[in-house]
Structure 1
Amino acid sequence: MTTWLDDVFPVTKPIIGMCHLPALPGDPAYDKAGGMDAIIAHARHEITALQEGGVDGILISNEFSLPYLTETEPITAISMARVIGEIRSELAVPFGVNVLWDAVRSIDLAVATGAAFVREIFTGVYASDFGLWNTNVGKTARHRQAVSGGDVRLLFNIVPEAAAYVAERDLAQLTRSTVFNCVPDGLCVSGLTAGAPTDTSTLKIVKEHAGSTPVFVNTGVRPDSLAESMKFADAGIVGTFFKKDGAFENDVDLARVKDLMSVARSVR
């Protein structure tokens, strides 16, 4: 079955590498001495390593804006737009954006920078590490149209990190109702936090009830788990494994990117 993935990516089962931006202006850990120049240099290093390693796409996020906001300050998306504007000509693969955790600002950033897709929490109410987390998917969908973002693909986190769905519905019901009511372009299935393994049985349930909607394995992808995950997932998003020593806080390691992409090509 042909999906929008076939139009965006030239391969089946694409692997999207994460470009984790350092803390941005306004974030608690922002490096004022290094400033925006240091953030841009870091992003350039990350996308160079990811592309040389052979990833099929890149997702740019403000991963180190901890602790996250569910309604971000304007400076966050503005800073990310500056970074992407500086490196845009060097991006040779399809890319997406993720302003953690603000769906509206993520769409704005995608429209402004030409990103092909957005990953976010678009639907549901959660008890999370960031407090009670609410969404308004109908309003967000209309905002996408209002800012001429109809071509931006929306990847819904169906099992959000660091959060639990408030309603007492099982995953199969949640998947079916999300697909029917919200018409996502993709469903992302995650572990507890960045880098945490995604349970294969969870992937299987989502895939069985997602219909024609592509399913992404969103965390914990490793060479030894990739083949099993890709039995059910249509694509993978990789961040932590690509880092030096597999540590979330480290820079991307070209050798680790090449290792995983070699496995990815063998299982397609």
Structure 2
Amino acid sequence: MNMWLDEVFHVQKPVIAMLHLSALPGDPGFDTKAGLSAVIKRAREELDDLQEGGVDGILVSNEFSLPYLTKTEPITAITMARILGELLSSIHIPYGVNVLWDGRASIDLAVATGAQYVREIFTGVYASDFGLWDTNIGEVARHRARVGGSNVKLLFNIVPESAKYLGDRDLRSITETTVFATLPDAICVSGLTAGAPTDTQSLALVKSAAGDVPVFVNTGVGADNVAEQLSIADGAIVGTYLKAGGVFENKVDRDRVEKLASQVREFRKSLA
């Protein structure tokens, strides 16, 4: 159970930190005056703070490409590949990528940059803030095989942010059929938005229904609740808490990273 987690992270209950990239070329919020060099500079600084702060992995995403597309323009993944190319020599922990909200582009970026995992919405049809949001996991899985990405682990977010599942189905049945029919490498459980707490009852329900598939708590994790969340989940993905003041838009604060990592180390001692 969770063998691939052990092979990739070499720790129990890994904590993956988000490396949120500033708005990119093509995004409405891109700073054309500061240019791409400013995006790379901030990413490098935050990478250093995350790694030195003690997290187990990172997930690089275009978090500030607001408003998001469900089929991204080529410039987004191309630019992210350029940024990762600049950072790769400095990355010494496992890393993944997430091109919001585009599963195929995420896989392409992972293959091009050697990323070991991606997180995306791979299943379901939703009414969302971005319009009607459709997916096709069969097509995406075959695309992964065609481009040589079969070793890239797919983390399925089954509670997407800013969206509602159109089918009238409960979370347990969604989890069970996702595991059986779509072959996820892990399942992520989220709150309503980035930084919003993930309901522990929902997390426990998904964990009980997921069988041998690892379950990650995907939002709302901080130093004060990480032990509680990891007592249920197999790992955590953390973004907003690690920012200065716990504010989504701010830069990573190394003190907060170290505080979270310290709590995780203490929790792991209880597992020994």
Q: For the superposition of Structure 1 and Structure 2, which TM-score range results when normalised by the shorter chain?
A: over 0.9
SS at match of 2:18: strand
CA distance in 2, matches of 1:204, 1:90: 36
Tell me the amino acid that sits aligned with residue 24 of structure 1: L
CA distance in 2, matches of 1:261, 1:200: 21
Displacement of 1:231 after TM fit? 1.5
For residues 110-125 of structure 1, the aligned pairs below 5 Å read 110-125=110-125
- Matching of residue 189 in structure 1 with residue 189 in structure 2: yes
Partner of 1:227: 227
For residues 1-268 of structure 1, the aligned pairs below 5 Å read 1-268=1-268
TM-superposition CA deviations, 1:230-256 (whole Å, max 9, x none): 111000001000000000000000000
SS at match of 1:224: coil
CA distance in 1, matches of 2:226, 2:19: 20
SS at match of 1:58: strand
CA RMSD of aligned residues (A): 0.6
SS at match of 2:224: helix
CA contact (8 A) 2:226 2:263 kept: yes
- Normalising by structure 2, we get a TM-score of 0.98
Tell me the amino acid that sits aligned with residue 109 of structure 1: L
CA contact (8 A) 1:3 1:214 kept: no
- Normalising by structure 1, we get a TM-score of 0.99
CA contact (8 A) 1:122 1:137 kept: yes
CA distance in 1, matches of 2:222, 2:36: 32
Tell me the amino acid that sits aligned with residue 183 of structure 1: L
Tell me the amino acid that sits aligned with residue 122 of structure 1: F
CA distance in 2, matches of 1:89, 1:235: 26
SS at match of 2:13: coil
Tell me the amino acid that sits aligned with residue 104 of structure 1: R
Displacement of 1:69 after TM fit? 0.1
Structure 1 ranges of 4+ moved more than 2 A: none
CA distance in 2, matches of 1:48, 1:23: 20
CA distance in 1, matches of 2:204, 2:166: 22
CA distance in 1, matches of 2:246, 2:172: 32
Unaligned runs of 5+ in 1: none
Unaligned runs of 5+ in 2: none
Tell me the amino acid that sits aligned with residue 245 of structure 1: G
Displacement of 1:2 after TM fit? 4.3
